[in-house]
A = this chain, B = another copy of it.
Amino acid sequence: MVNIQDVAREAGVSVATVSRVINGTRCVLPETEAKVRSAIAKFGYQPNLSARNLRKNESRIILILTPNFSNPYYSKVLSGICDLSRTLGYSTLIYNTYDSNALDEKLVVKLFEANRADGMITLACNRDDRWLEKYAGRYAIVQCSEYVEDMELPHISVDNRKAAGESVRHLIAGGHRRIGIVTSSNSYLSSANRLRGYLDALEEAGLPAENTLIAYASADYSFASGKQAARKLLTSPNPPSAIFCVSDILALGVIAEAGKLGLKVPEDLSVMGFDDVDYTTMFHPYLSTVAVPCYELGRGSMQLLYDHINHKPDAGIGVYLPHQVVYRETTARKNGSGKHFNT
């Protein structure tokens, strides 16, 4: 493999000069630069990143921790992160945490200490990950979508509580009085906040929050777990006429199970999802849901991370992006025409 020495020899200059040309440091005569550039081109020389990283004590790699990138929500966020990181000159290392339900502190510390990563974006931290705080000053870490409350670490997300409240208020305005929720048994703040928003709306309307209306799906937001949760809700003695779900895939599972139980959506049951992934408008009825700007969340978290890595003074700590509740075909007035409605 050709190294900087070879290039220097070929160009008849010293290695320092070659390095200066590569890194754009001034103080190089145009004709010298031309000689160096042509030597570089001749050999197809690429600076060895291991050597550069060793010397500069950086890696130009950022670490991304995600629950599961096969989930369409996360893959959209990841697209945003990866696209921006590439234009900023960073490579991305993506790790699935799967259902471990907690970040692996050892792994994170290892990757930082080993100089493998300059920063990290986590889409997977939850309530129990307070240990992150220990590293707040030392490592550049950004929490995206999920974050730990009251922690001095930068994060970016939508206002889950408010969005959930709006959704449920919409259902109430449609005449629904028994409204169920399918949430997740994981420890993510987003699930908890969406549940809070649901309870907010119920309380405002003077509706009781019954335990039989709250179903906890398994931690992975899977279609199957949505079906299971729906079955519990819909086969109870006094079933809900509307169900708010904390994710679209769960909502899709609810709709499937409702169909199996002979219920028509939205005539017999209104369903709301959350996230607005691509699949919400591939099949009828189109899903009513909360549109989350996934891609922008990804880009935003990368920008935030970049600012922190480079110690930009005004890099924010908490950034909130706007959501949009979209009413499509899975929500209808209670005992109404069966047509979807807008309040």
Binding site for B on A (CB under 8 A): 1, 44-51, 53-54, 57, 59, 61, 68-70, 72, 75-76, 78-79, 82-83, 86, 91-96, 109-110, 113-116, 223, 252-253, 256, 259, 278-279, 282-284
Contact B93 A49 (CB under 8 A): no
Cα-based distance from A95 to B68 in the complex (angstroms): 17
Kindly provide the distance from the CB of A68 to the nearest chain B CB, expressed in whole angstroms.
8
Identical chains in the assembly: 2
Kindly provide the distance from the CB of A89 to the nearest chain B CB, expressed in whole angstroms.
12
Contact A70 B75 (CB under 8 A): yes
Kindly provide the distance from the CB of A228 to the nearest chain B CB, expressed in whole angstroms.
14
Contact pick for A72, options B70, B91, B115, B252, CB 8 Å = B70
Contact pick for A91, options B68, B116, B283, CB 8 Å = B116
Among A47, A50, A109, A283: residue with most chain B CB under 10 A: A50
21 residue pairs of the A-B complex, CB under 8 angstroms, read: A1-B57, A1-B113, A44-B109, A46-B109, A46-B114, A47-B114, A49-B59, A49-B114, A49-B116, A50-B51, A69-B69, A69-B79, A70-B75, A72-B72, A223-B278, A252-B282, A253-B282, A279-B279, A279-B282, A282-B283, A283-B283
A95 contacts across to B, CB distance below 8 A: 82, 86
Contact A59 B69 (CB under 8 A): no
Contact B59 A70 (CB under 8 A): no
Cα-based distance from A57 to B57 in the complex (angstroms): 18
A48 contacts across to B, CB distance below 8 A: 54, 114-115
Contact A282 B109 (CB under 8 A): no
A72 contacts across to B, CB distance below 8 A: 70, 72
Among A53, A78, A223, A256: residue with most chain B CB under 10 A: A53
Q: A282-B256, A283-B283 are in contact. Are A54 and B44 (CB under 8 A)?
A: no
Closest to A51 in B: B54
Closest to A75 in B: B70
Cα-based distance from A261 to B95 in the complex (angstroms): 44
A82 contacts across to B, CB distance below 8 A: 94-96
Contact A50 B46 (CB under 8 A): no
Cα-based distance from A76 to B91 in the complex (angstroms): 21
Cα-based distance from A93 to B116 in the complex (angstroms): 12
Cα-based distance from A195 to B198 in the complex (angstroms): 51
Cα-based distance from A283 to B260 in the complex (angstroms): 11
A68 contacts across to B, CB distance below 8 A: 79
Contact A50 B44 (CB under 8 A): no
Contact A46 B110 (CB under 8 A): yes
Q: Which 8 A-B pairs have the closest CB atoms?
A: A46-B113, A50-B54, A50-B53, A46-B114, A70-B75, A283-B283, A49-B114, A48-B115
A83 contacts across to B, CB distance below 8 A: 96
Kindly provide the distance from the CB of A280 to the nearest chain B CB, expressed in whole angstroms.
11
Cα-based distance from A94 to B91 in the complex (angstroms): 8
Contact pick for A259, options B53, B57, B284, CB 8 Å = B284
Contact A49 B115 (CB under 8 A): yes
